[in-house]
Amino acid sequence: MEKLTEITFLGCGTSTGVPVISCECSICTSENPKNKRTRSSLYIQTESTSLLIDAGPDLREQALREKITRADAVLFTHGHADHTAGFDDVRAFCWRREERLPIYGSRDTLNILESMFPWAFDKQYPGLGYVKADAQEIKKEFKIGDITVIPFEVEHASIQTHGFILQLPSGKSLAYACDMKALPKESNSLLSRCDIHIFDGLRFQEHPSHMTVQEACNLADSLASPETYLTHLSHDIDYAMECELPKNRHYAYDGLTLTL
């Protein structure tokens, strides 16, 4: 039998992280470690393959905390700074390999990364110890080791943004969309077959480019999601109030690991 996959929330926070600099609200000053949120990122480890989704400004701290030593590829949801600003730390995953590290993103996302970190994409650059990227534009489904990745487009601000369905060796699948205002109808049938959904659930109050807790729960219900975790959480969310969410709906927290 195939070994199970471990899926770890490296971070589940919105772009500011929680606590927010200079904020003295009850969540930012909370003693509950589950109310401390680094920027959103996910790490997936099967028996033979490891995958990182997004590389935000907290990547270094997250990798040290979770003792991550490798990634066979990095997938980017989109080019916003809270998902890309830690790209330079991806260098650590280039040191133990001969080939360049596959970096997956939309054309827009790759353009942003290439303008921020040109040396990483320059095959002439000697790059001693720096990121050596192999840019892979996301167009359709692809495979990394024993994981099949099915990208889907989501609505989020004015920037092209992807969610990912991961088909795992166990036969189970997971859908991840950390920055999303709405899921285009075309993607509904793809996502309705997943075992776990991880959706943007920023806060309670309406937001122009993120789903509220209620919107995320409604979407999960419309897909008949067996289990849903909300991520990209702001300082409006108190983890202690998770009990108020509907059955099988959860708030993520940093370090939470799911086995699938």
CA dist., res. 208 & res. 188, Å (int): 21
For residues 170 and 209, which CB has a smaller minimum distance to Zn ion in the complex? 209
User: Interface with Zn ion by CB under 5 A: which range of 58-66, 128-136, 175-183, 198-206?
Assistant: 175-183
58 lines the binding site for Zn ion (CB under 5 A): no
- Stretch of residues binding Zn ion (CB under 5 A), selected from 44-52, 123-131, 174-182, 248-256: 174-182
Residue 85 as a binder of Zn ion (CB under 5 A): the answer is no
Q: Confirm or reject binding of residue 36 to Zn ion (CB under 5 A).
A: no
* Cβ at position 180, least distance to Zn ion in Å: 9
Please tell me what DSSP assigns to residue 41. E
Q: Which stretch binds Zn ion (CB under 5 A): 23-31, 47-55, 182-190, 215-223?
A: 23-31
Of 4 and 20, the one with the shorter C-beta distance to Zn ion is 20
**Residue of 54, 72, 179, 254 that binds Zn ion (CB under 5 A):** 179
Give the CA distances from residue 160 to residues 68, 155, 156, 178, 181, in Å, rounded to whole numbers and listed in that order. Answer: 29, 8, 7, 13, 12
Q: With CB under 5 A, what is the number of residues at the site for Zn ion?
A: 8
Residue 57 or 169: the one with the smaller Cβ distance to Zn ion is 57
**In this chain, which of 2, 3, 25, 192 binds Zn ion, going by CB under 5 A?**
25
What does the DSSP assignment read for 138-168?
Answer: --S-EEETTEEEEEEEEBBTBS-EEEEEEE-
CA angle 83, 86, 91 (to 5 degrees): 130
Choosing from 4, 28, 85, 116, the residue that interacts with Zn ion (CB under 5 A) is 28
Tokens coding 113? 């990364």
Question: Is there binding between residue 235 and Zn ion (CB under 5 A)?
Answer: yes
Stretches 19-27, 130-138, 200-208, 220-228: which one binds Zn ion (CB under 5 A)? 19-27
Cβ partners under 8 Å of residue 106, min gap 6: 76, 78, 137, 138, 160, 161, 162
State how far the alpha carbon of 242 is from the alpha carbons of 56, 112, 230, 249, in Å: 25, 36, 10, 8
Residue 80 touches Zn ion, criterion: CB under 5 A: yes
Q: In what order do the strands lie in the sheet with 147-154?
A: 142-144, 147-154, 161-167, 173-177, 196-200, 228-231, 249-251
Cα 147 to the chain's mean position, in Å?
16
Question: Which residue ranges make up the site for Zn ion (CB under 5 A)?
Answer: 20, 23, 25, 28, 80, 82, 179, 235
